């Protein structure tokens, strides 16, 4: 049972587990510094039940052209009670389940509260090292906090349902300003056209550097919608190549990763000595700063 | 002892279409702290083994009510070994007559769980096995 399995797929799979379970010190030791991102990262987000997993399956099939290697990372919520999880996204990815060329990995959200998981940044970096051309990240649909996905992926696809109030909810949540592509899924349901029109108006205000987020209607029985989505993602990837502020993007990712690592380190410190939590806020803060100092680490 | 950090695949091989038991077990294992992946109905042993590898699970639990448990267990063990994943622990649950238990154990099943067993007992057995 080593990472040098004769089955390369197993070696990758085990490496991902190691990264997912690494503590902060191990994570830092494994980081090889800035890499040139060759792999494009597509984030698919939206409320639970919006149809993200099913949509990703359709999409992955379309995007797997020629030698294009695709991976899917699907994040599902961890129970705050037992710390366990049911990772169910796979079942909805039936149509690609039998395609051995598409790598699907289900991941519990653990302690992360932002719709992602503790080590998303590290896991994405690891996928990069394994020759994937594209990774599709499915984030757990928790709404308001999902703007963090913006930092970690290149193209954000927001999946919405044509239900009354959904557009307003999405605007309130702030995620409407975050997406590069909007999808009104289950577009055969009543209200879909209105919804798409409303979103298109919002999106028109959001256009920057000649990218106006398209609004695409998809429904299960209409292959055109999915083809349109596939084309929109490719168009956005191309657009990004010429319009992206690479420094800003790299810095945003570095900031997110540092915040995540600090937050996890604080959890580690507090878990090791929960009496710290009995201190007053200033005392707790000072104690944490003290313990975060590498010189006192492990002491 | 808990199943925190353990990844378990609950799988339904073969043709029977009843997965209430599989889902109950999945929830019980989650409540004990495991990350549980469920395959859905009617999966081939080959498919189950591939998912077990991609998801890097510690154990696979096969839920079988169709009576073909011997063939399905043997085939799953063979497929796992083919993928260099013979070290993944295998459990079987369902309607398994007691006279078949020895043979299944010999084939590679590390635990056999029938409907008469209490859920706690099943979870405890999985916990003991994976933490050994």
Share of chain B above pLDDT 70, in %: 99
For chain B, give every domain's residue range.
Answer: 7-130
Distance CA(A172)–CA(A147), nearest Å, equals 12
What does the pLDDT read at residue A2? 45
Distance CA(A159)–CA(A218), nearest Å, equals 10
Interface contact B56-A84, CB threshold 8 A:
no
> What is the DSSP annotation of chain A?
--SS-SSHHHHHHHHHHHHHH--HHHHHHH--------SEEEEEEESTTS-HHHHHHHHHHHH--TT--EEEEEEEPPPTTTS-EEE-GGGGGHHHHT-TTSEEEEEE-TT--SSS-TTHHHHHHHHHTTT-SEEEEEPP--GGGGGHHHHH-SEEEEEE---TTHHHHHHHHTGGGT-SEEEE-STTSTTHHHHHHHHHHHHHHH-BTTBPPPEEE-BTTBHHHHHHHHHHHHHHHHHHHHH--HHHHHHHHHHHHHHHHHHHHHHHHHHH-GGGGGS-HHHHHHHHHHHHSGGGTT-
| Average pLDDT estimate for B49-64 | 94
What does the pLDDT read at residue A1? 42
For chain A, give every domain's residue range.
Answer: 8-244, 252-296
Interface contact A85-B36, CB threshold 8 A:
yes
pLDDT band at B24, cuts 50/70/90? very high
What does the pLDDT read at residue B11? 94
Share of chain B above pLDDT 90, in %: 76
What does the pLDDT read at residue A184? 92
What does the pLDDT read at residue A113? 59
Interface contact A97-B47, CB threshold 8 A:
yes
Positions in chain A whose pLDDT score sits under 70: 1-4, 31-37, 111-117, 141-147, 164-177, 207-209, 294-299
What does the pLDDT read at residue A263? 87
CA distance B76 to chain A (A): 16
CATH number of B7-130: 3.40.50.280
Interface contact A83-B4, CB threshold 8 A:
yes
Residues of chain B contacting A85 with CB distance shorter than 8 Å: 30, 35-36
CATH superfamily placement of domain A8-244: P-loop containing nucleotide triphosphate hydrolases (3.40.50.300)
Q: Per residue in B31-51, pLDDT tens?
A: 999 999 998 888 999 999 999
What does the pLDDT read at residue B120? 92
Q: What is the pTM of this model?
A: 0.86
């Amino acid at each position: 049972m080593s990472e040098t399995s004769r089955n390369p797929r197993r070696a990758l799979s085990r490496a991902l587990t190691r990264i997912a379970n690494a503590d902060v010190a191990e994570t830092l030791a494994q980081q090889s510094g800035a890499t040139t991102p060759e792999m494009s990262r597509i984030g698919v987000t939206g409320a639970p039940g919006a149809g993200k997993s099913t949509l990703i399956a359709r999409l992955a099939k379309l995007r797997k052209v020629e030698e294009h290697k695709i991976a899917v990372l699907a994040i599902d919520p961890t129970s705050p009670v037992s710390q366990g999880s049911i990772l169910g996204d796979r079942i909805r990815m039936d149509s690609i389940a039998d395609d051995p060329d598409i790598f699907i990995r289900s991941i519990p959200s653990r302690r992360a509260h932002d719709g992602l998981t503790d080590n998303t940044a590290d896991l994405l970096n690891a996928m990069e090292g394994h020759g994937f051309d594209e990774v599709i990240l499915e984030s757990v649909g928790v709404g308001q906090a999902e703007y963090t996905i913006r930092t970690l992926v290149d193209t954000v696809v927001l999946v919405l349902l044509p239900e009354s109030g959904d557009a307003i909810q999405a605007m309130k949540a702030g995620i409407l300003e975050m997406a590069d592509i909007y999808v009104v899924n289950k577009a055969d349901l009543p209200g879909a056209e209105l919804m798409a029109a409303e979103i298109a108006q919002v999106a028109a205000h959001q256009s920057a550097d000649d990218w106006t987020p398209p609004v695409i209607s998809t429904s299960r029985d209409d292959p055109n919608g999915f083809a349109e989505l596939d084309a929109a993602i490719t168009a956005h990837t191309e657009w990004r190549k010429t319009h992206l502020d690479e420094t800003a993007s790299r810095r945003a990712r570095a900031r997110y990763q540092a915040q995540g690592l600090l937050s996890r380190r604080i959890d580690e410190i507090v878990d090791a000595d929960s009496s710290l939590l009995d201190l007053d806020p200033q005392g707790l803060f000072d104690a944490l700063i003290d313990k975060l100092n590498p010189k006192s680490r492990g002491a | 002892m808990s199943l925190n950090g353990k990844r378990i695949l609950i799988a339904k091989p073969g043709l029977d279409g009843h997965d209430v038991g599989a889902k109950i077990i999945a929830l019980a294992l989650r409540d004990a702290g495991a990350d549980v992946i469920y395959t859905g109905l009617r999966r081939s042993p080959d498919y189950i083994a591939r998912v077990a590898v991609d998801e890097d699970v510690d154990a696979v639990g096969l839920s079988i009510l169709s009576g073909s448990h011997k063939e399905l267990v043997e085939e799953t063990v063979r497929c796992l070994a083919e993928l260099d994943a013979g070290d993944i622990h295998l459990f079987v649950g369902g309607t398994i007559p007691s006279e078949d238990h020895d043979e299944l154990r010999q084939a590679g099943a590390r635990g056999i769980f029938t409907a008469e067993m209490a859920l706690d007992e099943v979870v405890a057995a999985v916990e003991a096995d994976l933490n050994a």
